[in-house]
Amino acid sequence: GDSGTGNKNAKRVRDAYKNYTGLRKTDLILLLGDNAYSNGTDEEYQKKFFEIYPDLIRNSPVWPCLGNHDSASSDSSTQTGPYFDMFTIPVKGEAGGVPTGTEAYYSFDYANVHFICLDSFDTDRSSGGAMMTWLKADLKATSQEWIIAFWHHPPYTRTGHNSDHSQWSIEMRQNALPLLEQFGADLVLSGHSHAYERSFYLDGHYGPSGEIVHHPELVKNLGNGVSRPAPDANGPYTKRYKGKKAGRDGTVYVVAGSSGKL
């Protein structure tokens, strides 16, 4: 996430990733928005994306989402601008999932995982809008064992940005999360805050972040397959079932906006 700074920190993260993976193949790359600072122009994409990550993007498919910096030069409503020129995104369900008719948001399957990309900045985020209506239909249609969603503005964050003060984050939290949790989504990835944050398995919390401490029943798993109280739980998060059968078992929310910063 937020990998498009083009500076020495972005190169440091890139090199650390390459050293970590070694000869192992990268199956796919998810871009969490702000892919080319500061305005997502064609020149910035060339210098801060294509010239920085040539080896990675040459050998692995890239699945992007739109960030606020990318939107400075691109428009979701007309699907015009450098972002939409750079990437070819499935609009007819070519890669799995329900057709969207727009490159602003989409879904695809990889192995036994269903990926969903949403536009948290430049598309109507209301519960009755086209994107949320499509999201519900897409979630109903998938039969994959894992569901991973990604978009730019995190539903929960307190580093760099405060999700309780961002209309983009608030609307995504209120309108997208209930649908994702209803259908058993496993993981949501976001950027925007230039840091790393990770939640426990959460289910049913759509209000201000601070309220979660008053509702421990909404935390579904703290590790080792247990819920509160579990002060020593440090094992993996687990669910009882796979796929949509795991609905209401919770979703993990991750902020990974540090690709160009650390």
What is the model's pLDDT at position 247? Answer: 66
Provide the pLDDT for residue 10: 94
Q: What is the pLDDT of residue 255?
A: 95
Please name the residues in contact with 43: beta carbons below 8 A apart, sequence gap of 6 or more: none
Report which of 43, 33, 105 is spatially closest to residue 70, judged by C-alpha positions. Answer: 33
Read off φ and ψ for residue 109, nearest 5 degrees: -110, 140
Residue 133: Cβ within 10 Å count: 13
Whole-number pLDDT of residue 210: 80
Residue 116, burial from CB neighbour count under 10 angstroms (0-12, 13-18, 19+): buried
Return the pLDDT at 235: 64
Residue closest to 260 by CA, chosen among 16, 89, 88, 62: 16
pLDDT score at 12: 94
- Cα torsion 41, 47, 50, 54 to 10°: value is -170
Q: What is the pLDDT of residue 233?
A: 61
Residue 222 has a pLDDT of 67
User: Residue 61 contacts by C-beta under 8 Å, 6 or more apart in sequence?
Assistant: 28, 29
3-state DSSP: the chain helix, strand, coil percent, rounded to 5? 30, 15, 55
Per-position pLDDT tens, the chain of length 262:
989 999 999 999 999 999 999 999 999 999 999 999 999 999 999 999 999 999 999 999 999 999 999 999 999 999 999 999 999 999 999 999 999 999 999 999 999 999 999 999 999 999 999 999 999 999 999 999 999 999 999 999 988 898 989 999 999 999 999 999 999 999 999 999 989 999 888 999 999 888 887 777 788 766 665 555 555 566 677 777 777 766 678 899 999 988 876 5
List the domains of the chain with CATH numbers: 8-256 (3.60.21.10)
Specify the pLDDT at position 194.
87
Contact between 83 and 74 under an 8 Å Cβ cutoff? The reply is: yes
